[in-house]
Structure 1
């Protein structure tokens, strides 16, 4: 397998000094989706509390002040995704301590651990590993290869960044498995890779090879009946549309799920740039996808975190009526309607 693979069983998540919902998104997702694998969260200010109290998820997982308080772990995962992806220098003593204890250190940041002389020397001396999730050696272009007949690829796309494409894809995979289906989540970003243990960090793949890396990821997993592929960026985002299109053509989806955050009107990270209207984006995605492989939208996932219960209900009804597609908030209302749409799509694909 050419994709990155992680096999750690007990993890200490490091968020010390950065334990906010905005900065610690990676930690929160790990706590939600790898709960049984998390031994502790390291945050001095929150020591003595639980992950549930600190982050609103993770139950009774303890928050501790140092590795001395971690009963058992084979790795430390850096649980933050700050703007710019910089590695906090104040974490150096703890990272060195972890390596000396023969614990692997896993990072999804843009500052690579393996390019730091002290970290590299300490890891080599102790026999520990430095794992930079974004570091990769993908150097193959896509070949437009055919995939297994009967396998269905569902790809989450959206109107902007950081709206819930990964969460939607994970919840669809969970829902399909609960319904007795053979389904696998395929990660395309650092947090998804840390959750699932494998994947391709497409935002750090050289541009010519993005589609090839995505195609290879699908080819390595096409024995499953359903592949749920995490989306990245947005087809209309001035900064990230190239990654979005490369991923779209590489995975050649049969079905798309459109994700958006209700109430968000401007592009994340760029002041005063409006997000194009939803219909224009949906049309663009469908046109671009069909240039590679026959594809259609099967549903809409709405992030309603800004809305009250009645407002959320009205928004879901509105978008369903406008686009004649099933809509849900996978957290608030569950993923059942989108799961049913995935199963219906496979029945159509298999019968063709």
Structure 2
């Protein structure tokens, strides 16, 4: 298997090189650009990652594996609802294997459960890496949790609003301030960026909170943990994962994340999103069943609106909720760091 330091990735985004479905590619390009040779999308060949994803600079979009000969790993770069491998991608995956490339996937449909992929990989001596594959079998016990390690959890109005990105940006900013911080990855993209974590949406339900607690126990020597959120407490499909994660990580503080302008559950137009103030109350109620906790700030994702619209919305939410509000990419994370640092000072 190619080591992390030797990885030269070509990220497969065929037909999906955009920030939402292609969020795995987007985040790996943002946080691990030194590993990325190119993105593979024959429908967008000739363009750059910056043009399509707003990150990545001149990283090219290529039309075939042959156009990025220095790549030694193929990474599947999408996170579609349901987690299936798109049927047209099979030939590309097989071609990569036959070129001697490892293949990394974060999808629910495992590479290693596909007889054709497994046979081809065995013949070429390459690795099929399923990031979501796990064997978690520990229940939560709520024993030996250190209260002087601050646990900050990003929660959302919906899926795909930036919970992982906010957690990473806050953790990196804390490290820059000289504070021991750790990003706790709970989804496939976060794991690919951080190099460790647990794919909690693929853990048997009884062991979900225990899998999260295990990560808390392993990393609570740090001053602060930023635990990546998943889904939303009101999501028609994913609320169970959201609640299990919430009760597993026992947050003392939460950051509420949302996308400006989004009105309905992503991919489910018949389901209007719940208002932020209602969700804030529900998250605090559910968290306080386990540990004293409160929402201390709001992270807005303003990628689809202008700077002027962003500032109007930012002030509106500040007034409505009485909390710090910012877009960590557009404004930087400082406004959200201040209440976190204040809580650290109280410990």
Structure-1-length-normalised TM-score: 0.91
TM-superposed CA distance for 1:300, in Å, is: 0.8
Cα 1:256–1:54 change in 2 (3 A) is closer
TM superposition shift of 1:243: 0.7
- Residue by residue over 1:37-83, the C-alpha shift from the partner in whole angstroms, topping out at 9 and shown as x without a partner, is 11222223433443223433211223333333324334211011233
Residue 200 (1) aligns with residue 195 (2): no
1:120 match: 118
Q: Distance in 1 between matches of 2:57 and 2:206?
A: 43
Aligned residues: 344
Select the residue among 48, 54, 68 that pairs with 2:66. Answer: 68
Gaps of 5+ in 1: 1-5
- Match status 1:154 vs 2:152: yes
Match of 1:43 in 2: 41
Q: Is the 8 A contact 2:174 2:181 kept in 1?
A: yes
Partner of 2:268: 270
Deviations 1:82-106 (A, max 9, x none): 3332212322233223223432211
RMSD over equivalenced CA pairs, Å? 1.9
Measure, in 1, the Cα distance between the counterparts of 2:29 and 2:277: 35
Q: So what's the TM-score if we normalise by structure 2?
A: 0.92
Contact 1:156 1:165 in 2 (8 A): yes
- Distance in 1 between the 2:320 and 2:43 partners? 47
CA distance in 1, matches of 2:113, 2:156: 34
1:236 maps to: 234
Indicate conservation of the 8 Å contact 1:39/1:71, yes or no: no
**What CA distance in whole angstroms lies between the structure 2 residues aligned with 1:186 and 1:97?**
34
Task: Tell me, yes or no, if the aligned pair for 2:231 and 2:242 is still in contact at 8 Å.
Answer: yes
Distance 1:303 1:208, change over 3 A: same
**Matching residue within 172, 182, 191 for 2:170:** 172
Q: Which runs of 5+ in 2 are unaligned?
A: none
Change (3 A) 1:336 1:46: same
Q: Match for residue 24 of structure 1?
A: 22
- The corresponding residue for 2:4 is 7
User: 1:307 maps to what in 2?
Assistant: 305
Q: CA 1:137–1:129 in 2, change beyond 3 Å: closer, same or farther? A: same
